[in-house]
Structure 1
């Protein structure tokens, strides 16, 4: 799994069959509520799995669908995920699903196989107090020039670091 990220709630997806090539929608995790990635509080970043089937997006549309012509235009896209391909098959979560990776793709009932791609996996790096404590003092001096990181309580009031 080198250099691939788990996909989490809030990931941005795009369909290659959308008339609007910049249209995106936000993935919502509806099949599990236990497993989080890059979310120390376990509140926002649920891990998406290949069990996210059906209407699992925020708007459930990517605009107009090129696979549904209607005269001189196209019918509205109504996303209906039927299958995810290429999940991380070495892990199974409590919902019996395999975690999605940023390279996973979805098939829609209206589209062709693997027509929906993941544009952004949804994870965001957060610097925590523990990260600063575990980092070499020379690296901290480069990351936080002019700040004495040996007193972490003082840092928390000066920098937007989540404790």
Structure 2
């Protein structure tokens, strides 16, 4: 992988001792968003997101608990980006290769399998694209950006 992405609310996580995935929920800050034009849902996840910080708060059944219901309690994150500190919670942003230690397993067993960021096409993306490349990818599409920046797709 050439790029390592920052992690945000909505990231998919999995425990090596569990049977299913769960979705990361940021509870330690409410102001710092990434990859979210409207600033509504993609809060930046940090190493301060501890405890029960998942939507369902379970990874299914836990092999460490004789296959009883998993109740993860994150006590530590490792592998976070230490060059930035959020003022709101003093947290360091998580990276997609960060791992969490669960109080039950006692090891860095929780990994991030999808960082949670999504692609949002903006006016700037359209202006920066190469029309010749678009013609090769989809010859039926012609990129015309009008004076107010709206993408116009001609009728075929």
TM-score range, shorter chain: 0.7 to 0.9
Distance between the aligned counterparts of 1:93 and 1:143, measured in 2?
A: 40
What SS does structure 2 have at the residue aligned with 1:67?
A: helix
Structure 2 residue ranges without an equivalent (≥5): none
Residue number in structure 2 paired with 1:90: 83
TM-score by length of 2: 0.86
Q: 1:83 to 1:156 in 2, by over 3 A?
A: farther
Structure 1 residue runs of 4+, over 3 Å off? 139-148
The aligned counterpart of 1:149 is 143
- The residue correspondences of 1:20-31 to structure 2 (distance < 5 A) are 20=19, 23-31=20-28
Deviation at 1:148, TM superposition (A): 3.5
SS at match of 1:141: helix
Counterpart position of 1:44 = 41
Matched residues in 1 for 2:152 and 2:13: separation? 35
Distance 2:105 2:43 in 1: 26
TM-superposed deviation, 1:134: 2.2
1:5 paired residue number: 5
Secondary structure (helix, strand or coil) at the match of 2:124 reads helix
Shift of 1:138: 2.4
The structure 2 residue matched to 1:107, chosen from 101, 109, 114, is: 101
